[in-house]
């Protein structure tokens, strides 16, 4: 369809909770195509609808590598229904150009969602893989949660944001995640 502008950290709609999709209509399939076009054009692994200013519960992912064929995945109204373990990873985000920081994520997840045809699917992803982390990252966007809210070191993350000319962290939005961090 078309490549959309990716919102940057500091733009209000990135912090808004997204609305459920009630019908996988042409509007939603067009949105999915726009998300893929925009994600691929920006060399991303995933992109959530709020990142292009559409606050609906939709995201796309393609966690394939250069050696693998494209593997586009669509998640509509996703719910992470089971999670366990912990993994530390260095994450970035298309809404944070040039900024990366260490975060903690669940190692194993079970997610339920609709695909682009409106069919329910359940996917189990284990081992702290890029796909497991990307699903959690994009799912967070749907609730107005950003990867920096999971950061392991606030002060290092703020330095990274400063170098990328991005706003500081809002300390009130940092997630405690004490139990998750204990598992590292």
Write down the residue that tokens 């706003």 correspond to: 167
Give 59: exposed, middle or buried? Use CB within 10 Å, 0-12, 13-18, 19+. buried
CA–CA separation, 16 and 142 (whole Å): 8
11 is catalytic: no
The long-range contacts involving 177-181, CB below 8 angstroms and separated by at least 24 positions, are 177/104, 177/150, 180/86, 180/104, 180/106, 181/86, 181/104, 181/152
Q: Across the strands, what pairs with 83?
A: 109
- Contact (Cβ atoms closer than 8 angstroms) between residue 88 and residue 102: yes
Which sign, positive or negative, has the C-alpha torsion 122, 124, 129, 132?
Answer: positive
Give the SS3 label for residue 19. Answer: strand
Say which of 116, 138, 156, 179 is annotated catalytic: 138
- CA 16 from chain centre, in angstroms, equals 14
Catalytic residues: 138
């Amino acid at each position: 369809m078309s490549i959309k502008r990716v919102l940057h950290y500091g733009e209000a709609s990135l912090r808004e909770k997204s609305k459920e999709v009630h019908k996988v209509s042409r509007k939603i399939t067009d949105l999915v195509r726009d998300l893929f076009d925009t994600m691929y054009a920006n060399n991303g692994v995933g992109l959530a609808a709020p990142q292009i200013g559409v606050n609906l519960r939709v995201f796309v992912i393609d966690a394939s590598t250069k050696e693998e064929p494209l593997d586009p995945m669509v998640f509509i109204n996703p719910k992470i229904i089971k999670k366990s373990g912990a993994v530390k990873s260095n994450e970035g985000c298309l809404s944070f150009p040039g900024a990366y920081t260490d975060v903690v994520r669940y190692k194993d997840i079970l997610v339920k969602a609709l695909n682009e045809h409106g069919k329910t699917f359940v996917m189990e992803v284990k081992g702290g893989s890029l796909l497991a982390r990307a699903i959690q990252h994009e799912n967070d966007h749907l609730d107005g949660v950003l990867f920096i809210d999971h950061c392991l070191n606030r002060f290092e993350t703020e330095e990274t944001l400063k170098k990328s000319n991005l706003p500081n962290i809002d300390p009130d939005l940092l997630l405690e995640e004490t139990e998750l961090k204990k598992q590292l």
